[in-house]
Homo-oligomer: A and B are copies of this chain.
Amino acid sequence: MRKFPLSKVCQLIEPGPVVLLATLGKSGPNIMTMSWHMMVDFEPPLIACIVSQGDYSFATLRDTGDCVIAIPARKLAAKVAKVGNTSGRDMDKFASFGLTPLPASRVSAPLVAECFANLECRVTDTTPVETYNLFILKVLAAWIDPKQKNPKTIHHHGYGKFVVDGPAIKLKSKMR
C-alpha cells in the first residue's frame, strides 16, 4: 500500500463505486458492502454514507467512531456480492471470504489488503444518523495499492446487476 493524497480522494468516491466498509467490532473485524455514499467536501475530504440500523456494522460504527472504506476492483466482484449477502452476526466474513485485514495507521478498523484503495475514516458528525442513518466521515489517511494498475470499479444497479467501468473519455472540464 502506498499513501495517497487526501486532495485526490474525491476522484475515488465521486464515480460511485461499490465499496466495502470495514469496522472493528467486539468479536473482531467485520465488513459490509455499501453503495450509498458521496463526497461532501474536498479537503479535508468529508464523505457521507448511509448505514442502516439493521446492519451489524451500524452499532460498531457508532460506538467505535471509525471505519475504513475499501474500494474493490472487478476481480473482487464475486466476494463483494457474498459480503453483501451475509451478516457479521453469523460469521467472520474476512476469514470466510478470504479477505485480509491489515492494521490501519489512524483508526481501529482494518484496511482490506485485496482492495486497490483504502480510506481511514473517523465519524465526525452523528446528527443526521437518527433521522437518516447518515454518517459524516472525515478521511484521515488514504492508501492505494500501486500493483493494481487502472483498476475497474463496479457499480450496483440492483438485484445482482453490476456494471463494470468501461472506456474513459477526456473532456475539457474545470471540475476537479
Contacts and interface: CB of A to CB of B under 8 A. Distances in A.
A166 interface: yes
Contacts of A154: 169
A11 B50 contact: no
Nearest to A41: B132
Interface in A36-53: 36-41, 46, 48-50
Contact of A78 (B128, B168, B171, B175): B171
A50 B13 CA distance: 14
A14 B38 contact: no
Given A17-B16, A132-B136, A165-B163, A8 B174 contact: no
A164 interface: yes
A166 B153 CA distance: 10
A134 interface: yes
A173 interface: yes
A134 B171 contact: no
